[in-house]
Amino acid sequence: MRSIAPFLALACIVAFTAAALTAQNTAPSTSAIVSIKPSDTATRVRSDASSTDRFDWLEVTLAMLVSDAYDLFEFQVIGGPDWMSSKRWDVSATAAALAPDEARQLVRRLVEDRFALKAHREMRELPIYNLVLGRTDGTLGPKIQRSTVDCMPFLTGKRPMQDSPRDPNHRFGLCSEGGSFTPGGLLTPRLNGQPLTGLIQHLQEALGRPVIDRTGLKGNYDIELSYLDESLADKSVSPNAAQSESKRPSLVTALQEQLGMKLEPTRGPVEVLVIDSVSEPTD
């Protein structure tokens, strides 16, 4: 499973480019990119200044940039040298606020121009998972309930998130996607008022493999899934805390116990981006 930091970075670049936008008639150009250079935490100059027309994406790999630029998961990017996933870069950009599609064009031009990326799309037969109901009677687990709200207008930006319904217990927005994470590696994503597409996306990112919804469930659901991911655990936590967290279920077990679902491994057609050639940018 990838670390949480890349997830947040991907969310940040979309949020940055989508904020306060006015649709533009022309595609964004790479002149908006200020710089891209190898990450160096020792010499990096940090600034607390922020604005809607500036973005700093630190310690990002080219694999992250490519997957974001082409709207793919990293497991759908095939080929390329090892440094695409290991070498880290600092990207600084300044541009007018853009819509998400325009933002992806900007990132795509960045990787094509600065990294001389050449690639093509194709379909390949790859390992996938089918998500199915895990109980013969079709009953669901205790952590998934039919939702009383429709959060999709807020999640898609059609309505402002601050206007979404509030939880009467803690007054947080019911529709905001989030959850909690402990240093011991306990991850608890919460997905409210949406179809299973949100759960499918989380599973794909967690498992690094396409997941196909075969549950037959329609409509919107409230989901809270809690499971242990040892790869995210902070090795500096106390042994007692680590031992306590180690008793938590794995993702596969949590799906069965908490949601009444299971994953069936199989193979199927998956769209991939094949890297034909790429090179590190020069000064």
39-53: pLDDT as tens digits: 876 655 555 444 556
Please write down the HEC assignment for all residues of 23-91. CCCCCCCHHHEEEEEECCCCCCCCCCCCCCCEEEEEEEEHHHHHHHHCCCCHHHEECCCCHHHHCEEEE
137-155: pLDDT as tens digits: 999 999 999 998 999 998 8
Q: Retrieve residue 266's tokens.
A: 């199989």
Q: Retrieve residue 58's tokens.
A: 């630190």
Q: What contacts 152, CB < 8 A, 6 or more positions away?
A: 158, 193, 194, 195, 220
All residue ranges of the chain with pLDDT < 70 are 1-34, 41-54, 95-100, 170-171, 231-246, 283
- Cα(125)–Cα(143) distance, integer angstroms: 33
- Cα(6)–Cα(25) distance, integer angstroms: 31
Q: Is 0.85 topped by the overall pTM?
A: no
pLDDT computed for residue 204 by the predictor: 92
**What's the distance, CA 155 to chain centroid?**
14
Mean pLDDT of the chain: 79
> SS3 for 256?
helix
Identity of the residue numbered 136: T
- Beta carbons of 192 and 222 less than 8 angstroms apart: yes
> Residue 94 burial by CB count (10 A; 0-12/13-18/19+): exposed, middle or buried?
middle
- Cα(234)–Cα(133) distance, integer angstroms: 33
Distances (CA, A) of 179 to 27, 66, 162, 176, 186: 35, 27, 18, 9, 11
